[in-house]
Structure 1
């Protein structure tokens, strides 16, 4: 609509006394027209509201009847149960939480709740966590209430498991001030004892004194037990020979931690053992290369072995293994050593072990006060012709020896992980114009380097581009690098085509901490 005041609209202009009546006269007809439009809109809105209400009623009617035709309603009970079982975590036990199966499945509808409660296999895996203690005037009451609730929930959970073999893990906050005598874990263990005949996998991490409840059991009490993991919170002698459950008829996997670990003290049926994993402080362990040889000799079915070694004792010397004949481990696929010094003895140990099926090797070498370093492993890598994964700590390995070892890796290598790296940028990972890096590990799929310092961003870019650019050898799938230095330039834009093609790339650098500045510094109200 045309207006003589169009140029003043939207400004701060103030009309004078003569212009005010003119503006009021201009608004009479538009105001009436606006009123008529509002009335018309109101009538139309009433009609729309009536139609919307009718539509909602019809939608509810149609959707309600369509839901009766939903295929899931007609699934047989056994199919629904299998779907429920597929929701259970496979790599761990189930948490006592309503945010995941099996508890979550019972929160959907009454029918699903009935099905979940009547499917014992859903409740055969349980992870129990002791509620943490707090401080305050009502802390004790609060902790007791939470403990009671957790215990009752665990009892109900186990009661629903029927006659299924059980997989149970226990964890507690590692606090020295928490009195063991009042620990809810002891109460829960007492609850577990009647179910011992159905234990299949147990994983207990708790104070050492709490294990006394378990030590009362014998091998006949646990006929189904297959794997045992004991992680006591103590640096004193554990006395592993008192745990007679380790001698169960079906026990084939042992996981343990402790400073006094000597696997030979374990009451194990060695001939059926397939997994042996022990952890702890290497400088306190009494495990030597000689003991490891004896263990490997009496475990013909062993598939995975992870142990600590300390050959720094006076009784352990380079020549002590000369009297031991070689040991062939026909099924051993994973081998991990955490070592303390004695490089010569360690070399002799590897020389006396035949590993025709070796797939994964992990080495953690502790540098002692004398500067002991890991020996060159090039000779061993040439022997392990089917090796696929290597995880090594290069900080404890002289750079020439490490490079020699990497260049000796078999062509079957698919995963390479290096910690505390100190590699120069030239070879073998630096793919320069002549691409020498392509000759090393041609089937490499995963490369992970942590606390990387000496490999440049440019060298990493050239290596990835060369690997991804040669079609017959483009096997690289994952590159994770954590630099322990600042970025020289950002290579991610250059890697974007490879990332879009499916390459999983994660590259991080040490970042400068930002300065915290505030103009109110020192003022009383801040």
Structure 2
């Protein structure tokens, strides 16, 4: 073997090829240096370019797919329909209207009137590109028309709908009264062209013409919301074939007592969510419409009037009706004495949430107490509520409320699963109510009242006016009774242990305690004065431990707000 340090003497035959190789490599060296320098210049240029990436805002670096999801969330935050300023009060004087056809478009309202995808597309070129190339964003077209001279161009509306491709669409439109009926009808024609793709329809406008046309093809329609009072006439055929329709919210501005549900312009057999409000008519019609919806899961009956003639007959009876799927029920009574008889012979075995609202009027010598009807309803149905809301409008004062604490307690005893109790303007004896709700481990009762309660709200309107001559029928409890409020709250925030850890029939309460904690909080806004400092301090201790707490003076009375009283 030849050592690396030893000289090499190639033969004459090998010298010539070696010389050629060396010459070729020597010629390539300058070219390699040139390429290296070019690469170094490219790297330097790329480094300078990459510096600009740090200057881009983070939103510019979000992928389009993520942006689309963010935009969808933004659209979801907005209601499917909004009340135009003009529609809030039918009796409002024309001179006080904030929007009129002759007014210029206010700058603050301009962007509110645009469909949300169109509004998003005005932010920057990147967002415009994302919005215009995302059909999902254009499946929800909600906008307002509050100025008669600025109806959207029909061709523009067609472009908005076409951007969603063939996907089902949700439409929400609010049209001001300043827009003529003819213009509204012409505008509806643009919508009808896309009826096969309607998934939901929320129209706050005059819709007389949309129901009374030949049957539309509605293979995707699932909900119809007409929040603005309209003249509903019988036997409209346009929605006859909406077999997938499951949700209807319609407010009528006329009596429909002569219109049976079979003549209603919307099919009801598959409805699971029903919301009806009638300004006139008999309570019977509400039951008739409920019976036409055997699959009801959520029902809201608003502005239920008094019965005529025999309305004071407490024994008024109806044909027994059972709704096996109804879980959420809202009743709003708008009358002189109330019409709780509408609950007679109803059976609601699955009811979980019950909201009861009622008006009170001072000049009426008699009003029905609702709690006896609720007790009978529960015993007949066997439901177990999770939420109960009982609210009365804060009308002029009366000598005594028709419902009492004892009546409420009788109803609460039948619903031990209750978690949310909301009482507003019921004019109950608050100290007595708190004593009833206080948890006492030494009580002889087997179980405390509503052991699963996790949220409690008590609200009442404070005294009217500055002069003591005018007093509301309820009285602020004396400061000596403020302790009843604190005792009740503390007993439910730090509930006592069960005397014996025996077998528990259910797992509704926390292990080892008599009741659940008020983890969703306590709200008290009932007295016209502040609670005593010692009581407030005890309540604040619960708040410091994590209990949501809101304590303030009662709401100002309607008459105080008008007269400027404190």
Q: Describe the shift of the 1:88–1:485 C-alpha distance in structure 2 as closer, same or farther (beyond 3 A).
A: same
Partner of 1:299: 293
Question: Does the CA-based 8 Å contact 2:216-2:238 persist in structure 1?
Answer: no
2:80 is the counterpart of 1:81 = no
Partner of 2:18: none
| Aligned counterpart in structure 2 of residue 113 of structure 1, from 115, 125, 128 | 128
Partner of 1:314: 309
Question: Does the CA-based 8 Å contact 1:378-1:404 persist in structure 2?
Answer: no
Partner of 1:64: 52
Partner of 1:478: 521
Q: Per residue, is there more helix in 1 or in 2?
A: 1
C-alpha separation between the residues in 1 aligned to 2:154 and 2:460?
A: 44
Shift of 1:340: 5.9
Partner of 2:94: none
Deviates more, 1:326-335 or 1:441-450: 441-450
Partner of 2:422: 417
Partner of 1:201: 200
Q: Describe the shift of the 1:412–1:452 C-alpha distance in structure 2 as closer, same or farther (beyond 3 A).
A: farther
Alignment of 1:273-292 (within 5 A): 273-281=271-279, 284-288=280-284, 291-292=285-286
SS of residue in 2 equivalent to 1:397: coil
Q: Describe the shift of the 1:313–1:433 C-alpha distance in structure 2 as closer, same or farther (beyond 3 A).
A: closer
TM-score, reference length from structure 2: 0.64
| Aligned counterpart in structure 1 of residue 164 of structure 2, from 155, 161, 165 | 161
Shift of 1:378: 2.8
Partner of 2:368: 373
Q: Describe the shift of the 1:111–1:94 C-alpha distance in structure 2 as closer, same or farther (beyond 3 A).
A: farther
SS of residue in 2 equivalent to 1:440: coil
Question: Does the CA-based 8 Å contact 2:115-2:143 persist in structure 1?
Answer: no
Shift of 1:242: 2.8
Question: Does the CA-based 8 Å contact 2:329-2:355 persist in structure 1?
Answer: yes
Deviations 1:392-437 (A, max 9, x none): 1357632155433454241211111222121113333246695889
TM-score, reference length from structure 1: 0.68
Question: Does the CA-based 8 Å contact 2:421-2:457 persist in structure 1?
Answer: yes
Q: Describe the shift of the 1:499–1:149 C-alpha distance in structure 2 as closer, same or farther (beyond 3 A).
A: farther
2:503 is the counterpart of 1:498 = no
C-alpha separation between the residues in 1 aligned to 2:392 and 2:56?
A: 64
C-alpha separation between the residues in 1 aligned to 2:340 and 2:129?
A: 59
Alignment of 1:11-160 (within 5 A): 63-66=51-54, 73=61, 75=63, 78=65, 80-89=67-76, 92-93=79-80, 97=112, 102-103=117-118, 105-107=120-122, 109-132=124-147, 144=149, 147-148=150-151, 154-160=157-163
Partner of 1:462: 487
Shift of 1:278: 0.8
Alignment of 1:318-329 (within 5 A): 321=317, 324=319, 326-329=320-323
C-alpha separation between the residues in 2 aligned to 1:496 and 1:421?
A: 26
Of structures 1 and 2, the one with the larger relative CO (CA 8 A, separation 6+) is 2
Q: Describe the shift of the 1:82–1:314 C-alpha distance in structure 2 as closer, same or farther (beyond 3 A).
A: same
Deviations 1:458-494 (A, max 9, x none): 4433332222122842143133333362324466654
Partner of 1:350: 343
Question: Does the CA-based 8 Å contact 2:334-2:358 persist in structure 1?
Answer: yes
Q: Which runs of 5+ in 2 are unaligned?
A: 1-46, 83-110, 394-400, 463-474, 497-509, 511-515
Question: Does the CA-based 8 Å contact 1:238-1:260 persist in structure 2?
Answer: no
Question: Does the CA-based 8 Å contact 2:355-2:390 persist in structure 1?
Answer: yes
Aligned length: 429
Q: Describe the shift of the 1:494–1:62 C-alpha distance in structure 2 as closer, same or farther (beyond 3 A).
A: farther
SS of residue in 2 equivalent to 1:220: coil
Deviates more, 1:243-252 or 1:65-74: 65-74
Partner of 1:426: 431
Deviations 1:116-140 (A, max 9, x none): 21111112122222224xxxxxxxx
Question: Does the CA-based 8 Å contact 2:145-2:151 persist in structure 1?
Answer: no
Question: Does the CA-based 8 Å contact 2:388-2:420 persist in structure 1?
Answer: yes
Q: Which runs of 5+ in 1 are unaligned?
A: 1-58, 133-142, 517-526
